[in-house]
Amino acid sequence: MQNPSPNVEPDLQADTLRRAAIDRSVKGPVLFLLTNGAFWLMASTLLGLLAAIKSFAPDFLGHASFLTYGRLQPAHINALVYGWGFQAALGVMLWLIARRSGQELRTGKSLMMVAAFFWNITVTIGIGCILFGGNTSLEWLEMPAFTWPILLFCFLVFAWPMVSMFARSHRPEGFMISSWYIFGACLWFPWLFSTANICLHCLPSLGVIGSGINAWYVHGVILLFFVPVGVGAAYYFIPKITGQPIASAQLAKTGFWLLAILGGWTGMQRFMGGPLPAWMVAVGAMTGVLLLIPVLVVGLNHHLTTLGKHNLVAVSPTLRFVFVGSIFYPIAGIILALISSFWTGFTFQFTHAWYGYQIIAVYGFFSMVVFGAIYYIVPRLSGCEWLSVRLIRNHFWFSVYGIGIVVVTSIVAGMQQGGDLTAPERWDQSWISVVLNARPYLIARAVAWAMITWSNVWFLIHLMLMVAGLGRRSSAPTLLERHDDHSDPHLTHGAKA
Amino acid sequence: MTDFRKLTLGIAATFGLPWLLLIVVPAFKYQHLKPIAYDKEADGMDGYYPQSNANVLGLQVYLREGCVQCHTQMIRPTQFSADGWHKGWGEDQAERPADATRANTMRDYLAEDVAPLGVARVGPDLANAGYRLAAMDRSMIHAMLYAPHSVAIWSNMPSYAHLYKVRKAQGPKSELALPLSGKFAPAKGYEVVPTPEAEQLVDYLLSLKKAAPLPAAALGTLATAAAAK
């Protein structure tokens, strides 16, 4: 891509040069965000491993206050969400929207670097506070109250140029479902974040409504930030690599608007049977189940787009990660429906299934798609190719199996726990038997996090080498398999923006 | 550009509706719940419901330590779960409670900024921990927080040893000293005593009593009664 061959037609060459100029214009912020995100992912994985061990062996590594499960677990989730998730999302969003709108990033680049820097500092301080006594115990908002205005401001520094790039887009004729999703994420998140923080930190005596708003926020960030970014990226990379247009524009639009309509209502079903007004819980449960429709619509569209090109999943690292992420997406939707409906929800309520849902949404779906995007974007920005097929394979398989184990064991543990807690005939069993029944699953979770740690160590090293410009000097991308019978997908189809 | 306007308006409308109806209106509507007086005729008792509020100082310790990660404070109705029948989860501490503990209502969390309903139920529910723990000696509650394994060997609750001080025993044994034995006991000549934070945490746990009878005025029409302020 960086070295167009001399025999390409002139307008194609101009196109390639224009894309290279766009890539250059976003290089600094995107690489900064992705690299720092990868460091946070490493930190989150280690915290997750430690928290999983502590959940069945609380004496492990002694009794230091910052090593108790109640502090490690929120630190792990916050590092995953704000350290890795948001930075990786912003990096991919910025690159995608610049490419899709056909514009170079002209202004605000230094401000972005400052914002990204402050984002990292703030998350570091926030997670330090969680570990050393500033935990607010508001789910996904455990960092102390002073962090949120800074994070919001940093986010807006990125969101504003993205929105304006989208508004000034050069390609009104093209169908831009990826840009729609990313534009949506730029709007939804600040809205959700400021509402939740103002309510929870500034309004006194909310009582259970506060808990409801907190649950709404968590579902909102998943459904209206991580999902749009992941789906938007998948809508970009699947057609790009397979070389086929999105199967149905109608399905794509339907999926988008249904998500927009339903996403804001769900969340409060987390406290079903609880003290919240019944209609709020019921609306959440209903939309939680109805969300299956947009999820399956998107899944169907991706499936139809990939149809006939499945051999490329084995070849292209990008497509392989995006493909698996897109399979995790409908599974996450089904899990959400299971924990939301009144029929099954009471069994899964307050069990490990909730953790399984968070991990499949943020890691299984979103992060896998973003990994795919990173394998595509970084070579174009750093000017060198990924060093080792083995490292990519290693990253892929250990991630898939690790996440798979975390999710499956969490759901099964949830069924076990739920049965123990809700079945009327078990009303008189001792609490310790409930604890012991869940224990094997927690041990499996620790093993799974160890596998994910292994995969992330190599991903981080690989990415750092790339960012340092120490990748392979070649015009041919690193592919997982090489067949003589079909050409290089990244080269042939990379030409279409 | 039409796409841009259409999208902005569409997103504002589709998200604005739940934002307003589900978050903003209820947040202001339910913020000023007031206690309800018991009616002597209908309820057979005096005073106000709720009868006690959670201890605020101890709540800070509870939140800081992340207890919500494993402990809920929410009894679900009996038609959906067995919560109300578990031993010690209500006011009645009998092996087999005569009546199921009632499900919680909004006023049970009165004056709490954000009710700590909990993330997961790895440990037992604490909505009515106050009744359950009142049966124990205060120093035994401390011993449970200091060394959970001294109470249940397979417990996966962390030790909150950082809320306690190990100090040299001077003179007669302090009445605050934790009753620890075996491998949990401190070295000879030393004793374990709670810090003020540990005392606040225990005060908080003892204040968790969310099973007081509902006044007749609140039964059946909780949501509307709440709105009436």
Mutant choice from A206, A279, A280, A343 vs B, greatest count of B C-beta within 10 A: A206
Condensed to tens digits (0 to 9), the pLDDT of residues A256-306 reads 999 999 999 999 999 999 899 999 999 999 999 999 999 999 999 999 999
Task: Tell me: pLDDT of A4 over 60.
Answer: no
| Amino acid B187: pLDDT | 87
SS3 of A363-405: the string is HHHHHHHHHHHHHHHHHHHHCCECCCHHHHHHHHHHHHHHHHH
Provide the mean pLDDT of chain B.
87
Integer Rg of chain A from CA? 22
Closest-CA distance, B220 to chain A, in angstroms, reads 12
Q: Which residues from chain B sit within 8 angstroms of residue A265, using beta carbons? A: 18, 22
- Residue B87 has its nearest CB partner, among A180, A195, A428, at A428
Closest-CA distance, B175 to chain A, in angstroms, reads 25
Least confident of A395-409, A446-460, B162-176, B211-225: B211-225
* Residue count of chain B: 229
| Amino acid A311: pLDDT | 87
- Residue B10 has its nearest CB partner, among A172, A210, A260, at A260
Number of A/B CB contacts below 8 angstroms equals 237
| Amino acid A9: pLDDT | 64
Which has more confidence, A95 or A7? A95
Task: Tell me: pLDDT of A488 over 70.
Answer: no
How much of chain B, in percent, has pLDDT values that exceed 90? Answer: 45
Provide the mean pLDDT of chain A.
90
- Residue A68 has its nearest CB partner, among B33, B65, B119, at B65
Q: Look at the pTM and tell me if it is higher than 0.90.
A: yes
Closest alpha carbon within chain A to B16: A264
Task: Tell me: pLDDT of A244 over 70.
Answer: yes
Beta bridge partner(s), residue B114:
A207
Q: Which H or E run includes A472?
A: none
* Ramachandran assignment for A133, one of left (phi > 0), alpha (psi -120 to 50 degrees), beta (any other): left
Q: Which residues contact A13 (CB under 8 A, 6 or more apart)?
A: A4
Condensed to tens digits (0 to 9), the pLDDT of residues A189-213 reads 999 999 999 999 998 889 899 999 9
- Residue B1 has its nearest CB partner, among A133, A169, A211, at A169
| Amino acid A494: pLDDT | 40
Task: Tell me: pLDDT of A373 over 90.
Answer: yes
Which of the four pLDDT bands, split at 50, 70 and 90, describes residue A485? very low
Closest alpha carbon within chain B to A343: B80
Handedness of CA B156, A219, A193, A213 (dihedral sign): negative
Mutant choice from B117, B145, B165 vs A, greatest count of A C-beta within 10 A: B117
What burial class does residue A257 get, using C-beta atoms within 10 Å of its C-beta: 0-12 exposed, 13-18 middle, 19+ buried?
A: middle
Closest alpha carbon within chain A to B117: A211
| Amino acid B220: pLDDT | 53
Distances (CA, A) of B41 to A434, A456, B44, B216, B229: 43, 67, 6, 10, 22
Burial A445-480 (b: 16+ CB within 10 A, else e): bbebbbbbbbbbbbbbebbebbbeeebeeeeebbbb
Do A359 and A264 touch, CB atoms closer than 8 A?
no
A188 with B115: Cβ contact below 8 A: no
What burial class does residue A6 get, using C-beta atoms within 10 Å of its C-beta: 0-12 exposed, 13-18 middle, 19+ buried?
A: exposed
A58 with B148: Cβ contact below 8 A: yes
Peptide bond just before B50 cis, omega within 30 deg: yes
Alpha carbon A411 to its chain centroid, in Å, reads 20
Q: Which residues from chain B sit within 8 angstroms of residue A275, using beta carbons? A: 74, 103-106, 108-109, 115
A273 with B160: Cβ contact below 8 A: no
Least confident of A30-34, A284-288, B105-109: B105-109
Mutant choice from A66, A68, A180, A202 vs B, greatest count of B C-beta within 10 A: A68
Q: Which residues from chain A sit within 8 angstroms of residue B106, using beta carbons? A: 207-208, 275-277
Mutant choice from B1, B2, B22, B157 vs A, greatest count of A C-beta within 10 A: B22
What burial class does residue A134 get, using C-beta atoms within 10 Å of its C-beta: 0-12 exposed, 13-18 middle, 19+ buried?
A: buried
Condensed to tens digits (0 to 9), the pLDDT of residues B13-72 reads 999 999 999 999 999 988 888 888 888 888 888 888 888 788 889 999 999 999 999 999
Closest-CA distance, B198 to chain A, in angstroms, reads 13
Q: For tokens 């939804």, what's the residue?
A: A188
Task: Tell me: pLDDT of A493 over 50.
Answer: no
Which range has highest mean pLDDT (A168-172, A488-492, B191-195, B215-219)? B191-195
Q: For tokens 């792990």, what's the residue?
A: A76
B134-157 average pLDDT score: 91
Closest alpha carbon within chain B to A144: B64
Which range has highest mean pLDDT (A160-164, A305-309, A332-336, B111-115)? A332-336
Closest alpha carbon within chain B to A263: B15
Task: Tell me: pLDDT of B189 over 90.
Answer: no
Task: Tell me: pLDDT of A22 over 70.
Answer: yes
CA–CA gap between residue A19 and residue A32 (Å, rounded): 20
CA–CA gap between residue A413 and residue A426 (Å, rounded): 17
Closest CA to A193 of B30, B23, B25: B23
Contacts by A287-290 with C-beta closer than 8 Å and gap 24+?
A: A287/A262, A287/A263, A287/A340, A288/A219, A288/A336, A288/A337, A288/A339, A288/A340, A288/A341, A289/A337, A289/A340, A289/A341, A290/A258, A290/A262
Task: Tell me: pLDDT of B159 over 80.
Answer: yes
Do A273 and B81 touch, CB atoms closer than 8 A?
yes
Condensed to tens digits (0 to 9), the pLDDT of residues A89-100 reads 999 999 999 988
Closest-CA distance, B52 to chain A, in angstroms, reads 15
Task: Tell me: pLDDT of A351 over 90.
Answer: yes
A133-153 average pLDDT score: 94
* Ramachandran assignment for B194, one of left (phi > 0), alpha (psi -120 to 50 degrees), beta (any other): beta
CA–CA gap between residue A444 and residue A471 (Å, rounded): 36
CA–CA gap between residue B3 and residue A336 (Å, rounded): 31
Closest CA to A140 of B123, B119, B64: B119
| Amino acid B41: pLDDT | 80
Q: Which residues from chain B sit within 8 angstroms of residue A65, using beta carbons? A: 162
CA–CA gap between residue B64 and residue B163 (Å, rounded): 12
A373-379 average pLDDT score: 95
B11 with A283: Cβ contact below 8 A: no
Q: How many CB atoms lie within 10 A of CB B140?
A: 14
| Amino acid A53: pLDDT | 95
| Amino acid A62: pLDDT | 85
Least confident of A142-146, A224-228, B4-8: B4-8
Q: Which residues from chain B sit within 8 angstroms of residue A135, using beta carbons? A: 63-66
A485-490 average pLDDT score: 48
What burial class does residue B200 get, using C-beta atoms within 10 Å of its C-beta: 0-12 exposed, 13-18 middle, 19+ buried?
A: buried
A321-331 average pLDDT score: 95
The type of residue at A254 is T
Task: Tell me: pLDDT of B223 over 70.
Answer: no
End-to-end CA distance of chain B: 48
CA–CA gap between residue A79 and residue A50 (Å, rounded): 13
Which of the four pLDDT bands, split at 50, 70 and 90, describes residue B91? confident
Least confident of A35-49, A188-202, A225-239, B157-171: B157-171
| Amino acid A10: pLDDT | 67
